[in-house]
Amino acid sequence: MPRTLGLRHIALRVNKLDECIKFYTDVLGMALELQTEGYAYLTFGQDNISLHQNGLINFPSQQRLEHFGFACATPEEVDKWHQHCKELNVEILSEPETFGIGTRGFSILDPSGNEVEFTYHPPIVDLCFSLCAPRTHTDWQTYHYIRKDSIFDQINVEYDPNHPSLNDKNNYHYGFYLQNQMIGTLQLENLGGKKCSIRTIAIEKSQRNKGFGTLLLKMAEEKARQIGAYIIHLHGNPKAKTFYSDNGYEEMEFPNDVSIYSETIDYGKHLK
């Protein structure tokens, strides 16, 4: 049987085209790719919606859509969308709820009454995301580019793609993949004594603010458990204090270890 890339497109019949365009761009952050009379095409890059002004296209009278949804990377991201919609006074049909195998979701209405769901469903995340060693020479180039561009260039520290840690048995280097595209990196060091350190963690700039950083951090913690670590240390950027705090990290002394950058905060977490 042939394979698809997933359900990436949906077409909606709407009564208020202009209001719906504003809703999907201003509230949900989609980009308006094309607009003609009675029609608009909006995109997130991978997922796309076309809006058709009701009455201009002859849809079958029996055609119905109960609801459609957007997948979120973590349960926390679902809650962030809920708060975002509340702040914008969007009509909310249901509050966030966890059910089944850990699925979490809630629903809203767009200006034409279409039900839109935001949901975290573990199998979708497991299918889409992976954390593993870079697979090819091109992957290693991407790994170095993301680290250099997202971390080292930001603090004016020279990046060494041949650093000894790349061949050190206590250092683990991972690419964070969305399907087959590397969108982030992780360097984890085994410190011994059931402790480890996140040396570097980064999401590629164009993929930020989508909940991927939280997911990468959770996957990093699972890797730490796999090597027998129950305490994670890291030198964190002060600008990311809220991010680490929201994910259960607190200021914790990182003894006998010096950061490559002076303006960092030492964080830590006891894994359960």
Tens place of pLDDT per residue across the chain (272 aa): 545 556 778 888 888 899 999 999 999 999 998 898 899 999 887 788 989 887 766 555 555 677 888 888 888 889 999 999 999 999 999 999 998 888 899 999 999 888 898 988 888 887 788 999 998 999 999 999 999 999 999 999 999 999 999 999 999 999 999 888 999 999 999 999 999 999 999 999 988 888 899 999 999 999 999 999 999 999 998 989 999 999 999 999 998 888 888 889 999 999 98
- Residue (of 118, 126, 103, 141) closest to 177 by Cα position: 126
- The span from the CA of 174 to the CA of 194, in Å, is 20
Q: 154 and 69, same structural domain? A: no
Structural domain total, the chain: 2
Quote the pLDDT of residue 211: 85
Q: Classify residue 4: in a domain, yes or no.
A: no
Query: What's 77's domain CATH number?
Result: 3.10.180.10
Residues 212 and 95 in one domain: no
Q: Return the DSSP state at 150.
A: I
Q: Are residues 197 and 261 in the same domain?
A: yes
**What amino acid occupies position 85?**
C
The domain of 241 spans: 129-270
Residues 243 and 198 in one domain: yes
Same domain? For 230 and 157 the reply is yes
What is the distance between the terminal CA atoms of the chain, rounded to a whole angstrom? 43
> Among 120, 140, 168, where does a domain finish?
120
Q: What is the pLDDT of residue 47?
A: 81
Amino acid symbol at 147: R
Mark whether 155 and 97 lie in a shared domain.
no
Q: Do 264 and 222 belong together in one domain?
A: yes
What integer pLDDT is reported at residue 269 of this predicted model?
97
Q: Per DSSP, which regions of the chain are E strands?
A: 9-14, 31-36, 39-43, 48-53, 68-71, 92-99, 103-109, 115-120, 129-132, 171-178, 181-192, 195-203, 231-236, 250-251, 265-270
Residue 19 lies in a domain: yes
Q: What φ, ψ does residue 264 adopt, rounded to 5°?
A: -125, 165
What CATH number is attached to the domain comprising 177? 3.40.630.30
In a domain, 2, yes or no: no
Q: Which residues contact 138 (CB under 8 A, 6 or more apart)?
A: none
Query: How many residues are given for the chain?
Result: 272
Which among 103, 120, 137 is the end of a domain?
A: 120
Same domain, 212 and 164: yes
Does one domain contain both 90 and 152?
A: no
Domain co-membership, 37 together with 154: no
How far is 22 from 245, CA to CA, in rounded Å? 34
165 and 239 inside one domain: yes
Q: Which residues contact 173 (CB under 8 A, 6 or more apart)?
A: 133, 134, 143, 166, 185, 186, 187
198 and 259, same domain (yes or no) = yes
Rounded distance between C-alpha atoms, residue 17 and residue 37, angstroms: 10
Domain termination site, one of 120, 150, 169: 120
CA distance to 10, 94, 203, 240, 264, per residue, from 231 (Å): 45, 38, 23, 20, 19
